[in-house]
Structure 1
Amino acid sequence: MIDADVLLPDDLFSALPGADAVQAHAIPVNADRWSKAIANRGLPSLQGKLAEPGHTTISRAEVFDQADREVTTENAFQLLYYSLAWGLGIRAPRLHARLNALAADPDRAGELLLKAWETARAGAPAAEVYSALATDRGSGRIRQLGPAFATKFLYFAQGAAAEPRLLILDAVVAGNLAEAWPGAATWGWYPQTYGRYCDLMANWAGQATERLNGARKVRADEIELVLFRRRPE
């Protein structure tokens, strides 16, 4: 069980990167591989930077740009492509299996993605938003799109202007939460677990803001990023 009332660890506070650094957090991507794999499956074509040839980088800010477009099924696929490409990086493990799952029933996938995006934008509780893409037992509603990638989609779906309340949760972040979540499961989180995780991130962001004596407001995704980068002692 996550203890959402644990105090923010000092090492996380001292490593806060600032909001601009979070937005600039970029990952290398092989755009050619994505374009070819998507086209071969008859999925909605890539648009924007990822549709250009060669290797590139995708930053969090550029994925948020996709989320700030009109909320439509077509754009939901673009948001998914960009959030997946950012999350998978240059190696893009199991890319073909993930895209095969989308291509097996693109209409259903589009409906689920659109619902998740709309629910995220509506400000629904984190557990409810998460449930749009994950079952009550923590399995992905879209095959090969497990909870870790679902939370990436939801994080970006909030849009750049929103105060981040839906945070990325993956095996690395969960494994680095020893103070608040000893023995954390690294996959298959229940909706209520994800909700408590988001509460913890908001709580720690609030504590960090207080410790800065009002110099600036700390965003919850700053905490998520330093957790991802945290190295066990």
Structure 2
Amino acid sequence: MTTPPDVLRPTYERWKKAGYPTQPSFAWRPESWRKRLQSTDIPKAEFTLTDCIQTIVERTAQPEDGSRPRIDRKLVTTLHSPETLVVNGAYVEQAVVTAFLASMIWGYGATGYGPYRTARVLTSDPCAIAHLTETAERAQATADGGIDAFDHIAESRKNTQYLKYLGPAFGTKFLYFLTAASSTARTTPVMDAVVRRWFRTHAGIDLVTWRWEKDQYRTYLEALDAWKGEFTRKDGTPFERDDVELLIFSHSRGDDEVWDSAPVTLSTDALLDLLQSDIDQIADRIDSPHGPALLQQLADWVARSGATDS
């Protein structure tokens, strides 16, 4: 499919009319992450996970009214930059874990189960920190580092606990920030349940996001590459992959939810997405596609009923 689905054009026009807004920041709960992670034991680590959380807290915006700190894409990207991760030519494990935690905080948003799930990733694989560091190195090493890192995880997961419980839906969030922060690697955007449902509905492409499959990420990125030339940024330069992903996310979740920083009520699509993340984790653990397939049937039924929020 060399041209973007028709639904992207009006989304782009609304985005342009709104002044090319970026995804807004959101408030997060450092205390929830500290509470969970302070009791999470990482063998052989020379730092604590609460040290990493403190670094993120110090970098996030602190509202003058005393409300909770806010986090956004720009901050998380900065924490993934090679200038932050690399010291004397080597990737620093504490910096990598801090970046990973930031990407998970951003990915889970205001949901309450992010700290638990993130801790599970770090404890279920005995070499999780080394594997996260290896992922960072691969992702930022070459122009196609994001794909290389994805493929390496997919291959390593076949017979080991390599980053167990980190599925593609959240693993590609880490890869996105690693590549977006690199001047070497081409940006490889998030491929999660929101993207999967959108592609199935509007592009006729079935992406697998509940387990690591090499060809799936390539299929997704090839579509973004084919479509990005149809749109331009505010300065007139062509879109990049993550610009297209922003339009897809905006269309799927609703422009107001993405572009309005005020609190919003979650739409039916957003609630389905939160449920999807649970189902994806279970499917990845037991290596079965049945749960995601059943949830897709539910999503299709909701769509046919016309009950989705506008």
If the length of structure 2 is used for normalisation, what is the TM-score?
0.62
> How far did residue 117 of structure 1 move?
1.0
Post-superposition Cα deviations, 1:96-152, rounded to whole Å, max 9, x if no partner, equal 24303413556x111111111111111253432212333477898312211111100
Equivalent of 1:60 in 53, 73, 81: 73
Higher Cα radius of gyration: 2
Q: Structure 2: any 5+ residue segments left out of the alignment?
A: 42-47, 87-91, 253-302
Change (3 A) 1:137 1:124: farther
Distance 1:50 1:78 in 2: 11
Equivalent of 2:221 in 195, 198, 201: 198
How do residues 40-119 of structure 1 correspond to structure 2 at under 5 angstroms?
Answer: 40-42=39-41, 43-44=48-49, 45=51, 46-50=53-57, 55-68=68-81, 69-71=84-86, 72-93=92-113, 95-105=115-125, 108-119=127-138
Aligned positions, number: 224
How do residues 127-206 of structure 1 correspond to structure 2 at under 5 angstroms?
Answer: 127-135=147-155, 141-160=162-181, 162=183, 164-177=186-199, 178-206=201-229
Q: Structure 1: any 5+ residue segments left out of the alignment?
A: none
Distance 1:196 1:171 in 2: 15
Change (3 A) 1:97 1:159: closer
Change (3 A) 1:97 1:158: closer
Q: Which residue of 1 aligns with 2:30?
A: 31
Q: Is the 8 A contact 2:93 2:133 kept in 1?
A: yes
Distance 1:161 1:21 in 2: 23
**Code of the aligned partner of 1:133:** I
Change (3 A) 1:115 1:181: farther
1:217 aligns with 2:238: yes
If the length of structure 1 is used for normalisation, what is the TM-score?
0.81
Post-superposition Cα deviations, 1:41-70, rounded to whole Å, max 9, x if no partner, equal 144322334368973221010100101213
Of Structure 1 and Structure 2, which has the larger fraction of its residues in helix? 2
Larger RCO of the pair (alpha carbons < 8 Å, separation 6+): 1
Q: Is the 8 A contact 1:8 1:204 kept in 2?
A: yes
Distance 1:151 1:128 in 2: 12
Structure 1 runs (4+) greater than 6 angstroms displaced: 136-140
Distance 1:94 1:161 in 2: 26
Q: Is the 8 A contact 1:6 1:179 kept in 2?
A: no
Distance 1:192 1:120 in 2: 17
1:13 aligns with 2:23: no
Distance 2:190 2:114 in 1: 20
